[in-house]
Amino acid sequence: MERKLKICQIAPLWFSIPPEKYGGTERIIHYLTEGLVNRGHKVTLFAAASSKTKAKLVSVTKKGLISQGIPWQDWWWNNFNYSAALEEAKEFDIIHSHWAPLGMYFQRFVKKPVLHTFHNIPKKSDLRWKIFSYYKKDSNVIFISKKQRQNSPIRFKKEWLVYNGIDISQFKFNEKPKDYFIWIGRICKDKGIENAIKIAKKLRIKLFLAGQLQPMYKNYFETKIKPNLTQKIRYLGELKQSQLSSFYGKARAFLYPIEWEEPFGLCMAESMACGTPVIAFDKGSAREVIKDGKTGFVVKDISEMAKSIGKIDQINRENCRKWVEKEFTIEKMVNNYEKVYYKVLLKQMQS
């Protein structure tokens, strides 16, 4: 049996852990932290003081930064958070950073291994890749899908793959959906909300939209989305965790015509956990998260998505649930992260 570890988890400060509403990265950090504590590891979480955890909580700010009106472009508090965590490096066996490249900036100043999960990954043209490239020879990196790893323009010396997991108990299986479709995500063009609306109008189907509207996208919503809302196409706002199961489960299908390389897409796993199949554009992790033809359909464009909607009842909703139970649970995710921790520590001992 492997020894129990002293683990540092460093969360970005934008939202509390777990988030009340939006926050995929924050939700994964919560699942991982609590899962590690439950396995007997001594975990310290550096996050906003409004966070709730069984781990030791260390905070440099009372609430999530977004709730304080601090914009995404302001990194000062997150720099403070990382500095506070790495100052205590000697207290831990391993340090897990959940927001690159901040962790990379500090890793050479400590003797303990630092692990970085790429919850998101910038486009290849993004200047952050120059920073990642500078640290590629001494960075321990986790990708959250094979496609995300494939899309990385550089290779790191030490790389692993760990799929995200969800709390199955929070998503109730629904065998008998109602006659409507859904879209959920952050309100922006990349997430495919405009495409979903176009399909709904084309087929005259009922479509419910949900997701967080960030300040930077208010003009986009007012000009591109709001004018297209009707009795059949409705925006429900941002949903709480307690509302998601009903939202997903009552839908015939989740339409996800994304326009970017989705690194994982928790919403796809959450939908299938409720028995609701997903129809997504063939971008990013879609082919890994969806079992094409069994738990939904992976399509290339609006025309193919429209055709797939016509045969959505061919999908056995029980297969959707079973697929998530097999591949995307908290237990499996925590187990895989734990394995990586031990491998990183073993490599350090051998070097």
Q: Are residues 15 and 132 in the same domain?
A: yes
Residue 258 has pLDDT above 90, yes or no: yes
Residue 342, pLDDT score? 96
177 and 152 share one domain: no
Structural domain includes residue 144: yes
One domain for residues 185 and 309: yes
Strand partners, 160: 142
- Is residue 56 located within the same domain as residue 132? yes
Query: Does residue 268 belong to any structural domain of this protein?
Result: yes
The CATH number linked to 212 is 3.40.50.2000
* Residue 186 and residue 304 in one domain: yes
Specify if 64 maps to a domain.
Answer: yes
* Pair (154, 299) in one structural domain: no
Average confidence (pLDDT) over 205-223? 95
pLDDT by residue (tens digit) across 143-193? 999 999 999 999 998 999 999 999 999 999 999 999 999 999 999 999 999
- In a domain? residue 48: yes
Angle at the Cα of 91 from the Cα atoms of 86 and 93, rounded to 5 degrees = 90
* Residue 316 and residue 236 share a domain: yes
Answer yes or no: do 344 and 298 share one domain: no
Above pLDDT 70, what percent of the chain? 99
Tally of structural domains, the chain: 2
Percent of the chain exceeding pLDDT 90 equals 89
CA atoms within 13 A on the CB side of 244: 25
Nearest to 21 by CA among 239, 172, 169, 244: 239
Q: How do residues 66-111 score in pLDDT, each as one tens digit?
A: 889 888 788 899 999 999 999 999 999 999 999 988 999 999 999 9
The answer on 176 and 157 residing in a single domain is no
Domain that holds residue 271: 168-327
pLDDT tens readout for residues 314-345 = 999 999 999 999 999 999 999 999 999 999 99
* 176 and 323 belong to one structural domain: yes
Average pLDDT over residues 301-319: 97
Where residue 1 falls among pLDDT bands split at 50, 70, 90? Answer: low
Residue 1 lies in a domain: no
CA distance 272 to 278: 7
Q: Are residues 173 and 155 both part of a single domain?
A: no
Q: Tell me the mean pLDDT in the region 31-55.
A: 98
- The CA distance from 163 to 334, in Å, is 10
Domain assignment present for residue 185? The answer is yes
